[in-house]
Chain A
Amino acid sequence: MKFRYLPMTDKDQKDMMETIGIDNIDELFADIPKDIRFDGDLKIEEALDETTLLKEMGRLANKNINIKEYNSFLGAGVYEHYVPTVVNHMLLRSEFYTAYTPYQPEISQGELQAIFEFQTMVCELTGMEIANSSMYDGPTALAEAAMMSAGHTRKKTILVSKTVHPEAREVLKTNAKGQNLTVVEIDEKDGVTDLDHLSSEYSDDTACVVVQYPNFLGNVEDLKAIEKIAHQGKGLFVVSSNPLSLGVLQPPGKFGADVVVGDVQPFGISTQLGGPHCGYFAVTKKLMRKVPGRLVGQTTDDHGNRGFVLTLQAREQHIRRDKATSNICSNQALNALAASIAMSALGKHGVKDMAMQNIQKAHYAKEQLKKNGLEIAFDKPTFNEFVVRLNKPVKEVNEELLAHKIIGGYDLSRDYPDKENMMLVAVTELRSKEDIEEFASVLGGVK
């Protein structure tokens, strides 16, 4: 049986064995004790030829309903957006995707420069001074921000608002357990962080205050007021933010955030069942040497030519080993590249234009839903998401919507016991006026 990825011929094999001085490949494995040698064939599915394999993978793909075929109002941290065609074409330049981490700068200038540009774009959007080269995703970036805060302040309590993405809070708790830190959840009130509760929980032991902007329920948090509380002691102010919203919203950096994290998935990265996406991590200059993950810096060669290198590596696991404060190694470089290409294509005007369309269309959806007899749960400024109150469980409603080729919003009762019958609706620039009207009318009928 021959395989197209394996160029070894019988003659090659014979010649190589002769050079090595063996008669049989098995001799190379003679140091593996007999009782742990695997006998026979692995019990996995047999190999398929290329055509049959495409058919089989097509069968699996077609068993799914994809959001392009339906009218989708699902967001909750993962969004369907316009992706300029150019993104995928540039991403398929295989010098990028078949490369390893750029540890040899002389032959990795393309990747290094692209990441340097990515870092700059993240700084621009968030209003921060330093951004790293990427994290796995928004929620793990948030957890790392809290861990970094605890390390920096040497304090042990993390205050996180219940309006932060529920899965991000879960990941945070798992991380905190590893580092023996305490996580205190701050109540939500009227769709935003309860400031009185936050104030009352703030203490000498507070490492950081973590909020989301716009928050998980779609509402714009009062960062100005939260910053005052966050900085009344030594704690850091950590804000998780949808970077597209920052095309219109005042960036967290302007409100005195010490760390801004989130996911650049809205820029050029398909939803693909939740991964891989791409976390970002931005900080003020004073935290530069505390940042987890890789950083690209500018420098020069012997002839004074500009070039880029991975820098400040003394922070990282491969140098610090057990003294490292984060173990991140692989990141999401290729998706950071995708986001950079998308941000370049959208550019200064496109990001604002697209963000504005999200605000306008979500607002139009609210109006249409109200017209169809539905109640919007919170009267707060929103970006592209909001909460609508139904008369029956969201799960039931969504089943009915599906019959109309509509993918309904997120069921908030999954995470919030007090939010029975509440649906988190996302409306992006991809939803047309007709899509929105159809959704409002069908939802009005089944609510």
Chain B
Amino acid sequence: MNRENQELIFEISKEGRIGYSLPELDVPATNINDLIPSEYQREEEPDLPEVSELQIVRHYTALSTRNHGVDSGFYPLGSCTMKYNPKINEDVARFPGFAHLHPYQDPSTIQGALELMYKLQTSLEEITGMDQVTLQPAAGAHGEWTGLMMIRAFHEANGDYHRTKVIVPDSAHGTNPASATVAGFESVTVRSNEKGIVDLDHLREVVGEDTAALMLTNPNTLGLFEEEIVEMAKIVHEAGGKLYYDGANSNAILGITRPGDMGFDVVHLNLHKTFTTPHGGGGPGSGPVGVKKELVPYLPKPVIMKDGDNYYFEYNLPESIGRVKPYYGNFGINVRAYTYIRTMGPVGLRKVSEYAVLNANYMFRRLEPYFDAPYKQHCKHEFVLSGRRQKKLGVRTLDIAKRLLDFGYHPPTIYFPLNVEECLMIEPTETESKETLDEFIDAMIQIAKEAEGNPEIVQEAPHNTVIDRLDETTAARKPVLRYQKEN
């Protein structure tokens, strides 16, 4: 990694340099004052950089060497499914026939794009066991909100205005309660039991006439399958509520079990997790939502339909929740996901989940002697360990995470789920080789031993990164959120 102090692009800038090439204006120029009134003309030029093309290339190349991606090394970040992002997906998304389409072209001129979206929808319907899928939501959280808005519309159409509560397990992702709030619901927490799954007795207590839905991740964020799911569905449905499936952890279930068969009414998927589209340093993602028949009328506008060989957008949806996104979702991301599904097919997708789960269990069993394992049963695609034992030696989970950086790894998710003390949540994915897993396991064992014999090396980590631990407190107390030129 590049340890040099890295200048900002603004600091490289020098008056008079350019990094672009536009043709000379080929139409007669009119005096700008005749076109734009002077009070609407910019007075002060925006202080954007003045740099040459090579300077741009050096700058961003240098930045890239100060960043760790899946291509740089192992990235076992729990619940994020950091698997390989295939190169062919990137190439296909850049085909001019996909990259250079305008959303307002006549549908007759984008039949290939519509066919692709229709086929992707149909594939996702089969994979999730749902009746209809929309590709509109831009990300997982956006999908959650879309799904909850549909559930709200369904209840309101039945005159059920008193269904104001969404039940969320204590191990849920933070987006679940946040999405419930922005969809106008109140969230209620349901506890997990000692086995790490939802406590059915507590669920029976909190469910009632005011229940709009239960949101559930399955396998949950502890990597455990909610084995009572059928009973849970029954409890919620009998109370008149709907079941929402947070698809963040779908990498464990492809071709093995389907949310639709478990009893879920609404599902969202994160194509940037399970279906290999890149995380991009935080986005863009894509969060398609699938629903059962009863909820189909409430899908966001428009939906893609097929009539013979003709594909089209249907806007006449009187009960729809409306638009959630301009145009038709993150099409470029959906192209990548469809390319992946066509690469793997039904057999490949099932293997994906089998190997993701096999890898996770292998790591779990090998690490179990060295760290506390709050839940002992077989896990699915991810598992949690607790750093309690190391904490007693003065080494916190944060220190373990930082020490892993020295070995060239991105650390696991830490301090989540909230119901596990000093939590480490590890998700290897199926695209990693056994050798990679073994090397990571060796590093973890070494760190566990260091915690006993030489805790300082862990506490003071990282030692090999481009920068040491940063002062996050000052960053938040005295925020500096943009560059200001020194005078």
Contacts and interface: CB of A to CB of B under 8 A. Distances in A.
Contacts of A133: 282
A273 B287 CA distance: 17
A197 interface: no
A303 interface: yes
A361 interface: yes
A254 to B, nearest CB: 8
Interface residues of B, number: 205
Contacts of A27: 378
A209 to B, nearest CB: 18
A97 B85 contact: yes
Contacts, number: 695
B255 A116 contact: no
Contacts of B49: 343-344, 347-348
Nearest to A346: B20
Nearest to A130: B481
A398 interface: yes
Given A44-B122, A116-B482, 11 more contacts: A37-B257, A42-B346, A44-B126, A46-B345, A106-B402, A106-B467, A134-B282, A178-B183, A179-B182, A330-B279, A402-B106
Contacts of B326: 77, 137-140, 165, 167-168, 171, 274-275
Contact of A101 (B9, B282, B482): B282
Given A98-B85, A104-B411, A381-B35, A407 B467 contact: no
Contact of A344 (B51, B152, B361, B467): B51
Contacts of B321: 174, 177
Interface stretch (B72-80, B199-207, B446-454): B72-80
Contact of A124 (B47, B100, B230, B283): B47
Q: How large is the interface on A (under 10, 10 to 19, 20 to 34, 35 or more residues)?
A: 35 or more
A104 to B, nearest CB: 6
A88 to B, nearest CB: 8
20 contacts: A9-B434, A29-B225, A42-B255, A60-B116, A90-B60, A104-B410, A175-B182, A178-B182, A273-B110, A276-B330, A278-B284, A300-B470, A301-B470, A302-B471, A305-B467, A322-B180, A326-B182, A341-B56, A398-B106, A436-B27
Interface stretch (A68-76, A184-192, A230-238): A68-76
Contact of B466 (A60, A106, A178): A106
Interface in A60-104: 60-69, 72, 74, 76-78, 80, 82, 84, 86, 88-90, 92-102, 104
Most buried by A among B94, B149, B479: B479
B158 to A, nearest CB: 17
Contacts of B50: 347-349
Interface stretch (A153-161, A198-206, A243-251, A370-378): A243-251
Nearest to B361: A20
Interface in A134-165: 134, 136-140, 147, 165
A329 interface: yes
A182 interface: no
A249 B182 CA distance: 35
A103 to B, nearest CB: 8
Interface in A201-230: 220, 224
Contacts of B72: 95, 98
Interface string B149-183: 10010000000000000000000011101111111
B95 A334 contact: no
B346 A44 contact: yes
Contacts of B5: 305-306
A63 B261 contact: no
Interface stretch (B234-242, B289-297, B349-357, B387-395): B349-357
Contact of B351 (A3, A94, A121): A3
A71 B225 CA distance: 54
Contacts of A105: 467, 470
B101 A1 contact: no
Contacts of B486: none
B318 interface: no
Contact of B8 (A20, A113, A345): A113
Given A139-B325, A248-B36, A99 B27 contact: no
A1 B67 contact: no
Most buried by B among A6, A170, A296, A341: A6
A23 interface: no
A390 interface: no
B443 interface: no
Contacts of B335: 57
A266 to B, nearest CB: 13
Interface string B101-130: 111111001111101100100110011010
A46 B182 contact: no
B36 A137 contact: no
A107 B68 contact: yes
A161 to B, nearest CB: 17
Interface in B442-487: 462, 465-472, 474-476, 479-483
